[in-house]
Amino acid sequence: DAKTTQPNSMESNEEEPVHLPCNHSTISGTDYIHWYRQLPSQGPEYVIHGLTSNVNNRMASLAIAEDRKSSTLILHRATLRDAAVYYCILRDVGGSNYKLTFGKGTLLTVNP
Amino acid sequence: EAQVTQNPRYLITVTGKKLTVTCSQNMNHEYMSWYRQDPGLGLRQIYYSMNVEVTDKGDVPEGYKVSRKEKRNFPLILESPSPNQTSLYFCASSPSDRASTEAFFGQGTRLTVV
């Protein structure tokens, strides 16, 4: 599976935008970019995914670089409830799609 | 409400005493998985199931069994638990195996084996 690299931790202030980066320089043309988050004492939660184009949903936006070697998860207005570990995951159309391979993720701290 | 439900949420048991952690989903999903989460090791897949009566090993299946007799249920069985199985366990389900599909996770079961 192609690998992703994320910063270990990031900090933001409440009600400010947060940009969480992910590098995936070995991404293949058929890899989907998924983001999950894990709030304290909870199971992972799907956030968003995309293939080539930028994506928006009610939780966040996903900006994908033109060469697809990196992507950014954007939380438009961070709240205290957004404090979590954020995981960037690649899922290959041709690979084992039954498994999600979680790395260490980025621990996001949101200051009031 | 669409959800994956695990029980129990917390369990302390002794070495060798058989236990079952239940997982149930109400979304009619075909695919279900079990993961364990350990500090420094992240989430690792234990077993997965593609449909009723179809299961296969994940990355760390030793010491675990699963069954899928009904579509909605996917219990994790520890026949003879050992302390190295002390961990946080998550069940997940998804509607298909397509790479564009999201997975839904349960709230987790924290197991301690003494």
Percent of chain A residues past pLDDT 70, beyond the cut = 93
CB-based contact B97 A95, cutoff 8 Å: no
Report chain B residues whose CB lies below 8 A from the CB of A98: 31, 33, 45, 48, 50, 56, 97
Report whether pLDDT(B49) > 60.
yes
User: Lowest-confidence range among B5-14, B48-57, B61-70?
Assistant: B48-57
E strand map for chain B: 4-7, 10-13, 19-25, 31-38, 42-51, 54-57, 65-66, 76-78, 87-94, 104-105, 109-113
**3-state DSSP call for residue A24?**
coil
The Cα-based distances of A101 to A111, B42, B44 in angstroms read 29, 9, 7
Contact B14, B114 (CB under 8 A): yes
Contact B86, B111 (CB under 8 A): yes
Nearest to A101 by CA among B28, B76, B25, B48: B48
pLDDT one-digit tens code per residue, B56-99: 999 999 999 999 999 999 999 999 999 999 999 999 999 987 87
Report chain B residues whose CB lies below 8 A from the CB of A32: 99-100
Instruction: Count CB neighbours of B39 within 10 A.
Output: 7
Report chain B residues whose CB lies below 8 A from the CB of A92: 99
pLDDT one-digit tens code per residue, A32-46: 999 999 999 899 999
